[in-house]
Structure 1
Amino acid sequence: MSPAESFLTKSSLIIDTVRTQLPQIQEAADMFAKTILAGQMVHVFGSGHSRILVEEMWPRYGSFPGFNPIVELSLTFHNLVVGANGQRQAMFLENVSGLAARILRNFDLKAGDSALVVSSSGCNVVPVEMAEEFQRRGVKVVAIISRDHAEASTTRHPGGKKLQDFADIVLDTGAPVGDAMVSIEGLETPVAPGSTVGGCLLVNAIKAEVAQRLTQAGQPPKVLTAGVLVGVQKATELFEAAYDEHARRIAPYYAGLGA
């Protein structure tokens, strides 16, 4: 089996792992749809490469308003790698206790809000404290972790907790310990991680379920849609309407700050 075939085979197993979690996916969709139908926001957070799943949820083609993507550049800006704004600093900041609370100081969270927090290891301080802070404020939390990897990893949280300890629902990407899935003959360490594969499956499965619930409730979402499907004019109308709705939804989360 070639390395590519090995990766694809193991990715197929990840699909099976995600499929076994359909009840939890449905439960998460119920939670998120309830929040969005109430005119509120589902807050989505991930540090490091988990940022990918935040942006997978919103905003991108095939997604819709109702989600608040919380992305800190200091924790996720990887493309310079070294030097100013380098990866070393990002990984250091990802384990600074108290940063999550400072991030959430920017939002006047509401009763009835919900949240999605993503961390493959579930052990870095900022995402763990983010979930902890959400729950402390009465916000229900869905966590996406790589369960085998998270259980094998050592947390850096000052209280010894992991992300799954502050989650109402826990979803598993199905990635293995260490994340990388392909062994190469003559190479000591494996390559080709699987957490993004499983994470994207989970995020979009939830997204599809939420869209169904909103539509059935008489509030069909304004989906960012390619012009090749609906025509340029309709696509533009959807884009403008979706971004306007996002602005209206997010505004109350700033209005009450410091009051």
Structure 2
Amino acid sequence: MNVTTQYILHTRLMLDVIEQQTAAIQRAAQWFSQTILAGRMVHLFGSGHSRIMVEEMWPRYGSFPGFNPIVELSLSFHNLVVGANGQRQAMFLENVPGLAGRILRNFDLSAQDSAFVISSSGSNVVPIEMAEIFQQQGIRVVALITKQHADKSISKRADGKKLSDFADLVLDTGAPTGDAMVTVPGLDTPVAPGSTVGGAVVVNCLKAEVARLLTEAGHPPTVLSASNVVGPERAVSLFEQAYDEHAHRLAKLYQRVGLPSSVREQANDLP
């Protein structure tokens, strides 16, 4: 079997694993849609390459507002690989206790919110603490892991707990242990990871289910759409409207955050 066929075959197997989670995906979508209908946001977080799944959810074509992408560059801007802003630093930082709390200190969280935390191994400290803090605030947490890989991974957290221990619902990318899926003759280490493919499928299934629920509730989402699909004028209008809605939703996360100030007190008087 050639290596391209190997990868495609493994991808088809991942799709089967994801399809078996349809009920769980729909349950997560129900929580997310409730948050969006309440005027709040679904918080998205992933460190390292899990950032890809955050950006897959929003903003891009076929996506809509209602999601708060929390992307920490110190944990995910490692394309220089070595030197300043390199991978070594990012991998170190994603296992620093307390960092998640400092990140979430920037937001006024509400029990009406929901959260989607992505970590293939489910064993790094920052995403685990993110989920833990969300749950402490009464926020439902959906975790996306690679179950086979996570089951065989050792938590970096002192108490041994993993992301799944702080999730109300766990979804699986369907990728194998170690993530890489292709065996090359003469090479003793597998290549070509699968969690990104599986993760993107899960994310877009969630997105479609949420869009369905919002539409059925009489509040169809404002979807970023290409001009060659909806025409240039409507495409521009949709982009502006969607970005403005995102800003209005995001403003609620800052309006009453943290310590009192004269500005915050004025906000409390607003309807």
Q: Same fold (TM over 0.5)?
A: yes
The answer to whether residue 230 in structure 2 is matched with residue 230 in structure 1 is yes
Could you tell me how far apart the structure 2 residues matched to 1:6 and 1:167 are?
33
**1:110 partner amino acid:** S
The corresponding residue for 2:121 is: 121
**Does the residue aligned with 1:116 lie in a helix, a strand or coil?**
strand
The corresponding residue for 2:172 is: 172
Shift of 1:158: 2.0
**Does the residue aligned with 2:95 lie in a helix, a strand or coil?**
coil
Q: Which runs of no fewer than 5 residues in structure 2 stay unpaired?
A: 261-271
Could you tell me how far apart the structure 2 residues matched to 1:7 and 1:254 are?
44
The corresponding residue for 1:39 is: 39
Superposed, which structure 2 residues align to 1:40-119 within 5 Å?
Answer: 40-119=40-119
The corresponding residue for 1:22 is: 22
After superposition, give the CA deviation of every residue in 1:231-253 in whole Å (9 maximum; x if it has no partner).
11100000000000000001011
**2:187 partner amino acid:** L
The corresponding residue for 2:151 is: 151
After superposition, give the CA deviation of every residue in 1:49-89 in whole Å (9 maximum; x if it has no partner).
00000000000000000000000000000211110000100
Could you tell me how far apart the structure 1 residues matched to 2:220 and 2:4 are?
40
Could you tell me how far apart the structure 1 residues matched to 2:22 and 2:75 are?
31
The corresponding residue for 1:203 is: 203
After superposition, give the CA deviation of every residue in 1:110-144 in whole Å (9 maximum; x if it has no partner).
12100000000000000001000100111110000
**Does the residue aligned with 1:170 lie in a helix, a strand or coil?**
strand
The corresponding residue for 2:131 is: 131
Could you tell me how far apart the structure 1 residues matched to 2:224 and 2:4 are?
32
Could you tell me how far apart the structure 1 residues matched to 2:78 and 2:242 are?
29
**2:36 partner amino acid:** I
The corresponding residue for 1:162 is: 162
Could you tell me how far apart the structure 2 residues matched to 1:230 and 1:216 are?
22
Bigger radius of gyration: 2
**2:226 partner amino acid:** A
After superposition, give the CA deviation of every residue in 1:190-231 in whole Å (9 maximum; x if it has no partner).
000010111011000010000001011111100000000011
**1:24 partner amino acid:** A
Q: Provide runs of 4+ in structure 1 moved above 6 Å.
A: none
Could you tell me how far apart the structure 2 residues matched to 1:29 and 1:192 are?
30
The corresponding residue for 1:251 is: 251
**1:196 partner amino acid:** T
TM-score computed with the length of structure 1 as normaliser: 0.99
The corresponding residue for 1:182 is: 182
After superposition, give the CA deviation of every residue in 1:158-209 in whole Å (9 maximum; x if it has no partner).
2210000000000000111100000111101000001011101100001000
Could you tell me how far apart the structure 2 residues matched to 1:106 and 1:159 are?
26
Number of residue pairs matched? 259
Shift of 1:90: 0.4
